[in-house]
Chains A and B, each alone.
Chain A
Amino acid sequence: MSGDIILSVDRLTMRFGGVVAVNDLSFAAERRKITALIGPNGAGKTTVFNCITGFYKPTSGAIRLTHDDGRGIQLDRLNDFRISKQARVARTFQNVRLFPGMTALENLMVAQHNALMLASGFTFLGLIGAPSFRKAEKHAIERATHWLDRIGLLGRADEAAGNLAYGDQRRLEIARAMCTEPALLCLDEPAAGLNARESSGLSELLLSIRDQGTSILLIEHDMSVVMEISDHIAVMDYGVKISEGAPREIRDDPKVIAAYLGVQDDEVAAVEQELGR
């Protein structure tokens, strides 16, 4: 794969005691493209995500992020909140992690914490109500309003996030991640639990985010979403990469089919015949 690489994962290995969750995995994500990471349950996809977003420290290997201006950052050397703050990598979670007791608007305001914190002069300017802070806050509210409008939740801005419907919560979590102005957006199964209409809405949202210039890395089970929007797909099974390529190539790869159906490679033809393909 050629082109402008934003994220390159190089020989990533993650061990938990004796269990090797990710073994010598290498793949890359292109700038302004949607890259999907797929694989059966327990393949190690979320572990890879947690390594990229700093929740785990990889046992070995390198994860490198290259910004628009050519500035490179080793993500495996940053930890915790710095990944989002300095490297501008945002993520969502497999099980939605909003702030349920805060309103939708507040959720999006918290996401702009670092910018607002700076504007409030680390609270001191904000405490005396400095005009520069008021301006920054107004700007933050405008940005939040813009995203609420885009995900169709403008009318429910003042409702508690925990009261929103599940599909709305999923979209709000993506909007919250986007409010941190990320260079790379990592989505952990964004379509899980959505109905067909909601998933197609999600596909549209993700495509519009991509076209706006944010690169997306995506873990997903819903093949219709993955095949529809991905520019590039990497397939994992048992912690290793078994295939990589454009959606069309992946769909016909016998190794991928074998991994999803849970059979050996040489039995694929027989199984396919049985399933009537």
Chain B
Amino acid sequence: MKGRRGRPTQSRSMSRTFIILALLTALLLIYAAYAALVLAPTELTMGPVQRIFYYHAPSAWTAFLLFFINFIASVQYLVRPNESADRFAKWAAVAIGIIACIAAFVVPLPAGIEPSSVATTGIVITAAYFLIRRYFSEQGTDILALVTAEVGVVFCTIVLITGPLWARPVWGIWWTWDVRLTSTLVLWLIYVSYLMLRRFSTSGETPKLAAALAVFGALDMPLVYFSIWFFRTQHPQPVIGGGGSIDPRMLRVFAINCLAFTCYAGIICWFRYRIERMQRDVEETRALEALLEPRGAASGGAQ
């Protein structure tokens, strides 16, 4: 409320930052595409088709990152109004970080999972929780949740389209009900239903309903993963990845693409965030004007 007067100047400087960052991201994306198509060496067995990997895997990473932010923002939107719940969630976030750091080195992990990556994930969860808490208002966390879900679904769709395109020449099949493919598909389904709920809801408190659904979706994901993992280990499946060593140039190109896609998603989210914010401001102002209308025409909208 109080910042309304200062908004135009703030907004102008924000637009400049936005344009500069958008241009940088565009350059980075162009370089990343060039690196993926030209600089990276051609894979020995799969040939040029492997290059889709530089598009596929960074999209997956971006989608998961966005869904993760969506979850944290949704939790905050639910707990913020209630002081004790807020405090509890804050301590839970700290506890998750600490437990992940200790458990990673104490509990024996399945092969292929590094203890350091588990510890890092734990710290990232705690850090993300407090960063979002620090920089987003209650209304802001809702917009953040909406925006990350929308953009995340787009990136997840890219993953699900590029995957079969790659699988067809390499595996000889478009799709297999393997654990990673299937859980990504289920994740996509859950977030599409999330967006549908937001679209079809007539409630004045759609954000609350959507946040509850997002929390349910996040609770669901480990169960989805384990159930499909167990289901699939009983069935034959195509071999994914033949082991062997990776050319360091490939790894570098992959890292550049990951960075570029993350920046790209960040820019789109920011842009979408501003549009949504503006739209809500406009709606709020309209509602306020309707209330203050001197003639009694607007009395119906007051509720």
Asked whether A and B interact, the reply is no
Question: Which residues of B does A touch, CB under 8 Å?
Answer: none
